[in-house]
Chains A and B, each alone.
Chain A
């Protein structure tokens, strides 16, 4: 296995990206890839650049060097809205629900795209209300009035409206009650079953090892370790080394 390789048919390839925020250099050449329908975990301590990696993939920050390939073509400098249309769904750490849009309107931000028939829209909405009955109950409530866990559901459901090929999940279980955490775990399973790839950034190591097939460990803006999740489940020494848990 190559240091950062893995997937035979990569959907997403991140090659040696660097990012700068003002004067601080955050990513120092991060490389990773995600195969079609694969769930990949990205572990690391706080502030090592996990979120920035996701933002760089989603087009919210633009790398100063390196490139990002999606289905084999470079998307490095495309604006975020084009990436969303290509099939990259982004669920940010702070969820970023539109507080003054209703739940349905929040979902429609991803649904009202060119080339989606009304029937298909209804189907997608129904499907997501099926997964998240709590959102169906609150469909006419403003996003800002939902609880933290409900907002997390909404953020994921909203990204799913894009019918993405990959979803970038940034710490989805942060600050959630255990019951909600297991629900998130179930959703990742559902996404995997539906053939949607997931790049999961987490602090929750057991959940990540359980849900992911491969794991990258990142430290100080570079990938330090890369292994199948099964290997790490058997021997968690690398996790102790890089994360100090």
Chain B
């Protein structure tokens, strides 16, 4: 049992928590993406830009009010509203056309939003201060409470959204629209509004995750790209359009990355997600974690 002593148990525990924390944020980003895909059949290339916009709105709100929580709410509402506007102006006209066109249109949106942010805020990264700074001690190692809180809050947002889908009138409308758009409309469900609403909710989730993650990484115009890439991987690995699959895949990949960074450099650990993706495509192209309530 010599090797058991070679395993750094305390670090392993820290990395487990780290993995879950990053995983939950990633899950929040990916849920919005998978929601928009699953319900509207739209691959949203601008999703990362909504995350970035959320973070910037929070930066501005915090400058004005010094209140992180207010910033979180305003940023979510703001990105939701921008999402609805983007949907109505650029995606609704494409309804019924080749899905290829929606990919192109959202790519155009990401181009505009990203460069707009660069123009407005410049290339220097902004900082969102952590709303509180306490830490707890896990085995003689300090762990930031804020990080734990993000994980909890992300889980709460995803869980709340799941309940919303499961029980509310809007949840029934959204699910009916996903299953049969035309019949939903014939039953009096205002499908155009449901679709705009779904896009707004997905965007708001991206915006919220931008705010939550802002204090850990800094806010710049290109922050969306990294996240969208990881979120795409999660969504493909989790089985596209499956909410539960995305959450599991996000945690799974983040845990693997966290553990491997104990032994290899962070840049090399970043390759893990690609490896998982390749293996998934090889052996289970429909996704690793499918079969979840929709």
Q: Residue A98 contacts which of B176, B191, B192 (CB distance < 8 angstroms)?
A: B176
Task: Report if B169 contacts A (CB, 8 A).
Answer: yes
Which residue of the partner chain, among A79, A98, A100, A112, contacts B185 with CB atoms under 8 Å? A79
User: Which residues does chain A contribute within 8 Å of B188, judged by CB atoms?
Assistant: 81, 84-85, 109-110, 113, 162
> Which B residue's beta carbon lies closest to that of A105?
B172
- Number of B residues near A (Cβ < 8 Å) is 19
A residues in contact (CB < 8 Å) with B: 58-60, 79-81, 83-85, 90, 92, 96, 98-101, 105, 108-110, 112-113, 158-159, 162
Bound-complex Cα distance A152 to B3 (A): 65
* B294 interfacial by beta-carbon distance below 8 Å: yes
B192-206 near A? 1/0 per residue, CB < 8 Å: 100000000000000
Contact B176 A80 (CB under 8 A): no
Docked Cα-Cα span, A59 to B189, in Å, equals 13
Contact of A92 among B169, B186, B189 (CB under 8 A): B186
Contacts of B183 in A (CB 8 A): 92, 96, 98
- A90 and B182 CA atoms in complex are apart in Å by 11
Chain A proximity of B174: nearest CB distance (Å): 11
With A81-B191, A108-B169 in contact, do A101 and B176 touch (Cβ < 8 Å)? Answer: yes
User: What are 23 A-B residue pairs whose CB atoms fall within 8 Å in the complex?
Assistant: A59-B186, A80-B182, A80-B185, A81-B187, A81-B189, A81-B191, A83-B186, A84-B185, A96-B180, A98-B179, A98-B184, A99-B179, A101-B175, A105-B175, A108-B172, A109-B184, A110-B188, A112-B169, A112-B172, A112-B173, A158-B187, A159-B187, A162-B188
Residues of B participating in the A interface, judged by any CB pair closer than 8 Å? 169, 172-173, 175-176, 179-180, 182-192, 294
If A100-B294, A109-B173, A112-B169 touch, whether A80 touches B179 (CB-CB below 8 Å) is: no
- What residue in chain B is nearest A109 (Cβ atoms)? B187
Residues of A within 8 A of B192 (CB): 79
A55 to B17, CA, bound (A): 56
Q: In the complex, which residue of chain B has the Cβ closest to the Cβ of A161?
A: B187
Which residues of the partner chain B approach A105 to less than 8 Å between Cβ atoms? 172, 175-176
Q: How far is the CB of B20 from chain A (nearest CB, A)?
A: 30
Interfacial chain A residues near B182, Cβ < 8 Å? 60, 80, 96
CB distance from A83 to the nearest CB of B (A): 8
A58 contact set on B, CB distance < 8 A: 186
Q: How far is the CA of A84 from the CA of B191 in the complex (A)?
A: 12
Query: Which chain A residues border B294 with CB–CB below 8 Å?
Result: 100
The 5 A-B residue pairs with the shortest CB-CB distance, nearest first, are: A84-B188, A80-B185, A96-B183, A112-B169, A109-B187
* A19 CB to nearest B CB, Å: 15
Chain A residues, Cβ within 8 Å of B185: 59-60, 79-81, 84
Assembly CA distance A81 to B182 (angstroms): 9
Bound complex: CA of A137 vs CA of B179, how far in Å? 23
Q: Note all chain A residues with C-beta closer than 8 A to B175.
A: 98, 100-101, 105
Q: Enumerate chain B residues within 8 angstroms of A85, measured Cβ to Cβ.
A: 188
Apart from the given pairs A84-B188, A105-B176, 9 other A-B contacts in the complex at a CB distance below 8 Å: A80-B182, A80-B185, A81-B186, A96-B182, A98-B183, A101-B172, A101-B175, A112-B173, A159-B187
> Chain A nearest CB: distance from B158 CB in Å?
20
For B184, give the chain A residue with the smallest CB separation: A109
Decide if A60 touches B172 in the complex (CB within 8 Å).
Answer: no
Checking A90, A99, A100, A113 against B186 with a beta-carbon cut-off of 8 angstroms, the contacting residue is A90
Contacts of A110 in B (CB 8 A): 187-188
Shortest Cβ distance from A61 into B: residue = B182
Q: What is the chain B residue whose CB lies nearest that of A113?
A: B188
CB-CB under 8 A from B186, the residues of chain A are 58-60, 80-81, 83-84, 90, 92
Residue picked from A92, A98, A100, A158, most chain B C-beta under 10 Å: A98
CA distance A99 to B173 in the complex (A): 14
Q: How far is the CA of A107 from the CA of B182 in the complex (A)?
A: 16
The answer to whether A81 touches B190 (Cβ under 8 A) is yes
Which residue of chain B lies nearest to A144 when distances are taken between CB atoms in the complex? B179
Q: Which of B175, B176, B187, B189 has the most CB of A within 10 A?
A: B187
- Kindly report which residue of chain B lies nearest to residue A155, judged by CB atoms: B183
* B191 proximity list for chain A (CB < 8 A): 81
A162 CA to B188 CA, complexed, in Å? 8
